[in-house]
Chains A and B, each alone.
Chain A
Amino acid sequence: MSDPMRIRLQSQAGVTTVKVLMSHEMESGQRKGDDGKIVPLWNIQDVSATLNGKVVMTAEWGGGISKNPFLQFAVKGTKPGDKISLTWRDNRGDSRTDEVIVS
């Protein structure tokens, strides 16, 4: 059960800046835990964003992304009422989608 993303939009003249904070532990797979053993890799691998169903951004993430990642990007050609949806998927097969409406 994954935690919701916190998405904020800032729209101006048809361009919407999307700021999203994702809740994820993002274990790099290189850290040793208290017991001295490596904590296994557990991180977000794919992120994508759609505007009214059409894919506008995809990202593939490696091990360098931190815990609770923050992502910011801009989408051109938006108007009030448009739906922006964000999805992430991690290496355990978990995924999370959250949507916001452009105001």
Chain B
Amino acid sequence: MYPTNTGSIRSTYKDAVLSIILVALVGIAKAQSGSLEGLTSTANVQKSEQSAEQSTEKAIAQYRQMLQEANPADLYVIKGESLWNSARGPKRRSLASCDLGLGPGVVKGAWAQMPRYFEDTQRVQDLESRILFCMQDIQGFNSVDLVAQDFNTPERLNISLLAVYVASESEGVPFNVPMSLPQEKEMYKIGKKLFFLRAGTHDFSCSTCHSETGRRIRLQDLPNLTTQDGAGGAYGSWPAYRISTGSIWTMQQRLSDCFRQQRFPKPIFASPATIALSVYMGFNANGSEASAPGLKR
């Protein structure tokens, strides 16, 4: 079963009531700008509508600013950091010696250079697959077992917490995904091919929605992942706190739900193809500043 929406169901009713009140207040504000005769003249109606629109836009801009300051992801970053430094797993050790590509224990700036090739595993690995490896190698967790679980099991949730912590330590750092080794180049090619791969009952591919600028699905803007701007903004803002589910989602989880809606079979957690997609998006994002943890609807 799918992760439950802990936030949306219970707040829907209260949201509806409060938003009706708020919309009514906006309506009242609109109506009160100007005299009665003034209201019947088009110019005044337009002016009052314009000023109401402007004050709405200001309010939305203010709200967006407040959101940046109040991203609940910050709470999960704190939890993730504490997990990182806790002695856990069968071997009762912390992840302090985990090498994310910049040397054992170096977390700051590491995610901005992932995915990358790792000598010790002889594989290109992304954020989650590398954390998974460290959990197995250093702490003794069974990664096969973890891969088989769903995103909402306790230990898989812990991986999301660790991921959001590690990503947050690259906030503001420009992406610099390496592309010099043959393994890295191959993964990029595979990722790109998968990006354009049409399959399933609906003939969908990633590119169906994500290869043009300025499109949206319903009211959700769609980033163009083939460009630096689009990839930088989108790839760089996951892991993120999703308000609708009241939880942290990582890129692996975002990909999984994308594939579900593409009517594809289910991607395996931290599998090669999913890493390849992150290589494709990450390299396309190079130069853009990482912004994770993000805040999504």
Contact = CB atoms under 8 A, between A and B. Distances in A.
Per the CB under 8 Å rule, do A and B touch in the complex? yes
Interface of A: 3-4, 6, 8, 19, 21, 23, 25, 27-28, 30-34, 39, 63-64, 66-68, 70, 72
B105 interface: no
A21 B14 contact: no
B197 interface: no
B10 A31 contact: yes
24 contacts: A8-B69, A19-B69, A21-B70, A21-B71, A21-B72, A21-B74, A23-B72, A23-B75, A23-B78, A23-B79, A28-B11, A31-B9, A31-B10, A33-B4, A34-B1, A34-B4, A66-B7, A67-B72, A67-B246, A68-B72, A68-B75, A70-B66, A70-B70, A72-B66
Chain A contact surface mostly: loop
B109 to A, nearest CB: 22
Contact of B9 (A32, A64, A66): A32
Contact of A28 (B14, B72, B74): B14
Given A19-B69, A23-B75, 12 more contacts: A3-B78, A6-B78, A23-B78, A27-B10, A30-B10, A31-B10, A33-B4, A64-B18, A66-B7, A67-B72, A68-B72, A72-B66
Nearest to B5: A31
- Most-contacted residue by chain B among A8, A33, A66, A68 (CB, 10 A): A68
A11 B62 CA distance: 19
Interface residues of B, number: 20
B6 interface: yes
Of B10, B14, B18, the most chain A CB neighbours within 10 A belong to B10
Nearest to B72: A68
Contacts of A67: 6-7, 72, 246
